[in-house]
Copies of this chain bind each other. A is one copy, B any other.
Amino acid sequence: MALVKFIEYADASAEVRAVYDDIMASRKVDWINNFWKALANDPVTLKRTWESVKQVMAPGALDSLTKELLYIAVSVTNNCTYCINSHTAIARKAGMTDAMFAELQAVVAMANETNRLVIGYQVETDERIANAAKQR
């Protein structure tokens, strides 16, 4: 159970409502999910977090769906049930097919595996790789 009360729209301050309105308008939905209702206990964090998410997740050099897949990859690695569910829902809406979902999971799992082989063997980065990884 959440450690704070959820702030419903009807009970929200003008400051919180402004954020709720922007979330609904930006996402083209007519309801607010629990995450924001919990954060609304701290209006400053609510506003900053929403504005940051909106900025970071907007399409740019990477499209929106790719960004959602990256979000899921992190959330699976960190084991965040809410986050996996909410970003899988958004990704499906944005066009993620079952095949894409399955490949995403396979890559995330494989990366978690090879990360530990590298760490377990304490492999040093090849000079050529370090050079190729750097900005030109």
Q: Please report the C-alpha to C-alpha distance between residue A45 and residue B95 in the assembled complex, in whole angstroms.
A: 22
Q: Please report the C-alpha to C-alpha distance between residue A11 and residue B106 in the assembled complex, in whole angstroms.
A: 23
Q: By DSSP majority rule, is chain A's interface helix, strand, loop, or mixed?
A: helix
A98-B41, A116-B108 known; A123 vs B66 contact (CB < 8 Å)? no
Q: Please report the C-alpha to C-alpha distance between residue A79 and residue B112 in the assembled complex, in whole angstroms.
A: 11
Q: Is residue A13 within 8 Å, beta carbon to beta carbon, of the partner chain?
A: no
Interface residue tally for chain A (C-beta within 8 Å): 86
Contact string against B for A residues 28-47, beta-carbon threshold 8 Å, 1 for contact and 0 otherwise = 00010111001101101100
Q: Please report the C-alpha to C-alpha distance between residue A3 and residue B79 in the assembled complex, in whole angstroms.
A: 14
Are B3 and A107 in touch, CB under 8 angstroms?
Answer: no
Besides the contacts A2-B121, A35-B121, A83-B111, what 15 more A-B pairs have beta carbons closer than 8 Å?
A2-B123, A2-B124, A2-B134, A3-B120, A3-B133, A48-B55, A61-B99, A61-B100, A76-B120, A80-B119, A88-B133, A89-B129, A93-B132, A106-B117, A112-B113
4 closest A-B pairs by beta carbon, nearest first, are: A113-B113, A89-B132, A42-B102, A61-B99
